[in-house]
Amino acid sequence: MFYAGSHISASKGYEAMGKQALKLGANTFAFFTRNPRGGKAKEIDEADVGRFLELSKEHSFGKLVAHAPYTMNTCAAKEDIRSFAKEMLADDLRRMEYTPGNYYNFHPGSHVGQGSEAGVAKTAGLLNEVLTPEQSTTVLLETMAGKGSEIGRSFEELRAILDRVELKEKMGVCLDTCHVWDAGYDIVNDLDGVLDSFDKIIGFSYLKAIHMNDSMNPLGAHKDRHEKIGEGHIGLEAFARVLNHPALQGLPVILETPNDDEGYAKEIALLKSLHNESDR
Ligand code: FE
Ligand code: FE
Ligand code: ZN
């Protein structure tokens, strides 16, 4: 099965998100669990979630890839920012249980001068405080571009976080094509080599989702500026190879490109056509 979708606004609730996904031709999607800049989340309307669960079953949706707010810095130097992150993470995971068995993706944080080792330890420490054996949600670390003092900019840093997390079976990784490219992983000329090193360092069993974005910048730029598929430095041919790579089949593919609804519908159709090319 091929699962593709885009980011969808959560402002009108779950059923509205599901219907919007169908309108775009998607069978999975991403949404912010609360305002991307943080703040209080809307309480869950159980009837709304119930209607969504039915709809997603009827249309055989793949796993959803919820996204934490950008402001959630799990390795902040300031204790109040970190405890705010802990509250947000715990509350988001509680609300994720209304849609059991899906993915919750987050940026592993910015160490802001503490050094990446300290950042890794703090983020893993916070996960150990919040993850529970009962949760059905898998928490994904996103591969980062290495902008500023972001941690998670290398497979080694993600591995270092996973090494320190006790409930490893609740963890996974989301590979963002723009971010790994900006971090210096050449998925255009050496996709096999990049995936091979992902497997050796992290392990494919942790790879749960793909954020599919082209990049406005050249390899290793550490900028994190997303571009429409095929219009940036990664290019269409490389995306066709990513979509058809045997190691990446069955994973939800989420677009985070600069698009309106019409643009997303077109890009989802494009991904489907690129994916099917290999069958012809
Ligand atoms: Fe992200
Ligand atoms: Fe992303
Ligand atoms: Zn990004």
* Amino acid identity, position 175: L
Q: Beta strand 226-227 with 214-215: parallel, antiparallel or unpaired?
A: antiparallel
How many whole angstroms separate alpha carbon 3 and alpha carbon 252? 5
CB-CB contact of 229 with 267 (8 Å): yes
Tokens of 229: 């598929």
**Where does the pLDDT of residue 136 fall: very low under 50, low under 70, confident under 90, or very high at 90 and above?**
very high
pLDDT > 50? residue 146 = yes
Residues with a catalytic annotation lie at 37, 67, 70, 107, 142, 176, 179, 211, 224, 226, 256
Q: What is the pTM of this model?
A: 0.97
Contacts of 134 (CB under 8 A, 6+ apart): none
Tens-place pLDDT, residues 47-80: 999 999 999 999 999 999 999 999 999 999 999 9
- Candidates 125, 56, 46, 40; CA nearest to 88 is 40
Judged by its nearest atom, the ligand closest to the C-alpha of residue 212 is 2
Average pLDDT over residues 160-176: 98
Residue 178 confidence (pLDDT) = 98
Least confident of 37-51, 63-77, 228-242, 246-260: 37-51
Q: How far is the CA of 256 from the centre of ligand 2 (A)?
A: 7
pLDDT > 80? residue 220 = yes
pLDDT > 60? residue 278 = no
How crowded is the C-beta side of 6, counted as CA atoms within 13 Å? 29
Q: How far is the CA of 195 from the centre of ligand 3 (A)?
A: 19
